[in-house]
């Protein structure tokens, strides 16, 4: 009877774990596709702005175009290296089964999944500022890339 209970318990746990792991794999696949599209668009934005305009800022308290670009890179590195936990900053493959782990995010409890989504929003926020800077300099920003 004890053996039956143990086998049944193990089977039940695997039946719950397998769909959860599959969901995480789907999330990572979709996130990486979105992240790659975002990267390509950001590079297009960076290449479209003339180098002599990289120091432009819309207001005195704003970051320059270049500072927005560097800030995105720094934030990506910080979130993946420091916050997510002591691994190479650009190795997204090492975190595929820990997305429900909670972190202290400036006094708030957030899952790693939430941090990844926040990072995508953060990139969009600063890239949007960069697009405005391009317009203020008489440039037409690159056409928006879907699925980011």
Asked if the structure places residue 12 within a domain, the reply is no
- Please name which of 49, 33, 65 lies closest in space to residue 146, comparing C-alpha atoms: 33
Q: Is 111 exposed, middle or buried (0-12, 13-18, 19+ CB in 10 A)?
A: middle
With contact defined as beta carbons under 8 Å apart, do 138 and 57 qualify?
no
Q: What is the pTM of this model?
A: 0.65
Asked if the structure places residue 93 within a domain, the reply is yes
Asked if the structure places residue 109 within a domain, the reply is yes
Asked if the structure places residue 20 within a domain, the reply is no
Identify the domain containing residue 121 by its residue range.
25-136
Asked if the structure places residue 16 within a domain, the reply is no
Asked if the structure places residue 78 within a domain, the reply is yes
Using alpha carbons only, give the angle 127, 134, 56 rounded to the nearest 5 degrees.
90
How many folded domains does the chain comprise? 1
Write the pLDDT tens digit of every residue in 25-75: 888 888 888 888 888 899 999 999 999 999 999 999 999 999 998 888 888
Percentage of the chain beyond pLDDT 70 is 76
Place of tokens 């899952």: 111
Q: Using 50, 70 and 90 to split pLDDT, how confident is the model at 92?
A: very low
Give the domain CATH number at 92. 1.20.120.450
């Amino acid at each position: 009877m004890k053996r039956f209970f143990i086998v049944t318990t193990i089977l039940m746990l695997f039946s719950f774990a397998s769909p959860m792991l599959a969901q995480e794999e789907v999330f990572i696949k979709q996130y990486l596709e979105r992240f790659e599209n975002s990267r390509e668009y950001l590079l297009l934005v960076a290449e479209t702005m003339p180098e002599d305009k990289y120091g432009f800022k819309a207001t005195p308290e704003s970051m320059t175009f270049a500072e927005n670009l560097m800030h995105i890179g720094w934030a990506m590195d910080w979130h993946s290296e420091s916050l997510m936990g002591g691994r190479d900053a650009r190795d997204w493959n090492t975190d595929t089964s820990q997305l429900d782990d909670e972190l202290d995010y400036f006094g708030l409890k957030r899952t790693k999944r939430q941090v990844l989504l926040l990072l995508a929003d953060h990139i969009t926020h600063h890239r949007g500022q960069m697009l405005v800077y391009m317009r203020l300099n008489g440039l037409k920003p690159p056409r928006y890339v879907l699925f980011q």
